[in-house]
Amino acid sequence: MKKILVLLLLAVVGFYTAETFFDIGFGKAPFVKSSEIKPVKDVYLHQTVQELKVANAVTSIVVNFRGFDTLGEVTVLFLSVTALGSILYKKRHHVGERSVLFSASSIVTSGSKLLFPAIVLLGAYVFIHGHLSPGGGFQGGVIIATGFLLMLLAYENYSVSHKGLAIVESLAGITFAGVGLLGFMNGGTFLQNFLATGTLNDLFSGGIIPIIYIAVGFKVAAELTGVIYTVLNEKGEQHG
């Protein structure tokens, strides 16, 4: 009886939610046609090129218009990594060995040695050019972390310095929050751009946007590498 009631309730909520989302569609204009509606996206698209001189509108929204959210998301990632460490703590005490113990074939080991620098380079390219081309700090960071994942899978005794990761992570986070506070002191509001924006499509353009995105790139790379390392290598922090 209780189950049927719950299912019925869920079905009603599900039906109306699904119906609403079928109507809304993806990327369509708002249904409400009124002169009072001035979608913020128009301002974003206009100001991205006009004022911020950034070629990638997604980046300008993520890092500048809604940079505060991004700072929050970076913190969410940071907390998840911290939380993962505290939850896997028990397990690490008993098991001191890598869970993957057999060695990879020489094709895999030499191939990954060859690929690793290229992957890191691509990751760095993606986050350095975050304000010019698709991609950015999060994507670039993930690409670099996959490079480390490859190395960890290929070499059973490959190790990453936990202390080093923690330092990179902290410095990148401090850069983000610190740049925000500098804007607070220079321009008047937190995360406000206080550098010259340069010319559109230049590598050095967009004011503080590239600085923040590079910091995010380092941070994401260090954190995800840390997650992979913690899960894969359960010795983890004991000597870190």
183 close to 208: Cβ distance less than 8 angstroms: yes
Helices 106-128 and 137-154, axial angle in degrees (round to 10): 170
Q: What is the C-alpha to C-alpha distance for residues 18 and 24, in angstroms, rounded to an integer? A: 10
Judged by beta carbon, residue 19 or residue 100, the one nearer another protein is: 19
User: The tokens of 207 are what?
Assistant: 């004011």
Q: What is the C-alpha to C-alpha distance for residues 37 and 32, in angstroms, rounded to an integer? A: 8
| 69 in contact with another protein (CB under 8 A) | yes
Q: What is the C-alpha to C-alpha distance for residues 150 and 145, in angstroms, rounded to an integer? A: 9
Size of the site for another protein (CB under 8 A): 65
Judged by beta carbon, residue 21 or residue 204, the one nearer another protein is: 21
Which of 45, 109, 190, 235 binds another protein (CB under 8 A)? It is 190
CB of 121 to another protein, least distance (A): 27
Which of 7, 178, 185, 202 binds another protein (CB under 8 A)? It is 178
Q: What is the C-alpha to C-alpha distance for residues 188 and 183, in angstroms, rounded to an integer? A: 7
Judged by beta carbon, residue 122 or residue 166, the one nearer another protein is: 166
| 67 in contact with another protein (CB under 8 A) | yes
| 181 in contact with another protein (CB under 8 A) | yes
User: The tokens of 64 are what?
Assistant: 């500048």
Residue among 145, 152, 116 at smallest CA distance from 219: 145
Binding mask 94-123 vs another protein (x if CB under 8 A, - otherwise)? Answer: ------------------------------
Q: What is the C-alpha to C-alpha distance for residues 236 and 87, in angstroms, rounded to an integer? A: 13
Judged by beta carbon, residue 66 or residue 98, the one nearer another protein is: 66
Which of 7, 43, 49, 100 binds another protein (CB under 8 A)? It is 43
183 close to 105: Cβ distance less than 8 angstroms: no
Which of 7, 8, 39, 201 binds another protein (CB under 8 A)? It is 39
Instruction: Give how far Cα 216 sits from Cα of 7, 98, 103, 115, 120, Å.
Output: 43, 29, 34, 23, 15
* Residues in touch with another protein (CB under 8 A): 13, 16-17, 20-21, 24, 28, 30-32, 34, 36-41, 43-44, 47, 64-69, 71-73, 75-76, 78-80, 82-83, 85-87, 89-90, 163, 166-167, 169-174, 176-178, 180-181, 183-184, 187-193, 237
